[in-house]
Amino acid sequence: MTTTASTRLERVQRDLRDRGFSFETAARPTVARDGPADFAGVDAPLDLRPLASDRPLEIISAVANAAHDGRVPVLVVDDHDYDTVQEFLSPPFALAGNEDGVGQFYTIEDRIQLTDDSFACVASPGELSWSEAPDAGSDSPPLRLSVGGETAAVLDSVEGLACPGPSPAAFRHRYARGEDGRFRVYEGDSVVGEYTGVTAMRQAGVRPVPLPLVPEHHVRNNGDLARAVMLATVEDGTVQYTG
């Protein structure tokens, strides 16, 4: 039977009360305290965070916000989202993969703004992915963008994505909106395409480059609490917890 988000949350709250937890009644009534210390494997309050979707940015934001406040995240999820959320949080935590020590990143909807206020894009077909570039002995390896299995850009490190952002020279193509409202795609200093908007640009095979989700950019402290995250699901009125 399908349950609403509010019903799931209420059922989880009731279950935790039955286990000995008490809930705050002020600003954060979804914070549970004083229950069994070994419930989550970490002696810290629980922070119930209902998820509206299984998008990577929503998951990591919920986890990071709870951990930042010194609490163990308990994500209340719909059965349909469970597998995707669990995969995202399973080792390697919040990474799309990790082969031979090389991390592969999920992507989020944010665009990559360059130092000239244009935005990075690609003008070739194929699956787009971000990963670390192998660099033995480096604590901050280069970051590689691949399109269709071919390297499309390399940044010195993930810090190259931070403000003020990468140089326009880091990407072969970039786009910007002109004063007339039209979008122009550049290769170097040359305009190689002109479109009425992003939709038209996409239809022509030109895609904005999505930002890679780098876990450390979101979970900046209390990583032990973030990795103690639990998932709570409700089926036939019964609450199941997995960590």
Distance CA 122, CA 134 (A): 23
Angle between helices 56-68 and 79-89 (to 10 degrees): 70
| Residue 129 near residue 153, CB atoms below 8 Å | no
Q: Apex CA 56: angle with CA 132 and CA 237, to 5°? A: 140
pLDDT digits (tens, 9 = 90+) for 155-201: 998 888 888 899 999 999 999 999 999 999 999 999 999 999 999 99
- Tell me the HSE value of 150 on the side-chain side, using a 13 A CA sphere: 7
Q: Which residues contact 146 (CB under 8 A, 6 or more apart)?
A: 128, 129, 130, 131, 152
| Res. 144 pLDDT band, cuts 50 70 90 | very high
pLDDT of residue 133: 84
| CATH class of residue range 5-93+219-242 | alpha beta
Q: Which of 82, 90, 84 is nearest to 240 (CA)?
A: 82
Confidence check: pLDDT of 2 > 80: no
| Structural domain boundaries in the chain | 5-93+219-242, 97-217
Distance CA 74, CA 80 (A): 17
Over residues 201-208, the mean pLDDT reads: 96
Instruction: Give the DSSP letter string of 52-67.
Output: S---HHHHHHHHHHHH
How far is the CA of 219 from the CAs of 26, 68, 158, in angstroms? Answer: 26, 8, 15
| Res. 68 pLDDT band, cuts 50 70 90 | very high
pLDDT digits (tens, 9 = 90+) for 168-177: 999 999 999 9
Residue type (1 letter), 89? L
Percent of the chain scored above 90 by pLDDT? 81
Element (H, E) at 184: strand 183-187
φ/ψ bin of 58: left (φ > 0), alpha (ψ from -120 to 50), beta (otherwise):
alpha
| Res. 154 pLDDT band, cuts 50 70 90 | very high
Over residues 201-229, the mean pLDDT reads: 95
How far is the CA of 64 from the CAs of 61, 86, 112, 125, 225, in angstroms? Answer: 5, 16, 22, 34, 9
pLDDT of residue 1: 46
Quick one: 174 exposed, middle or buried, by C-beta within 10 A (0-12, 13-18, 19+)?
buried
pLDDT of residue 161: 87
Quick one: 185 exposed, middle or buried, by C-beta within 10 A (0-12, 13-18, 19+)?
buried
Over residues 6-32, the mean pLDDT reads: 90
pLDDT digits (tens, 9 = 90+) for 108-139: 989 999 999 999 999 999 999 999 987 655 66
What is the phi/psi pair of residue 108, to 5°?
-125, 175
Q: Any idea of the CA torsion for 225, 230, 231, 232, to the nearest 10 degrees?
A: -120
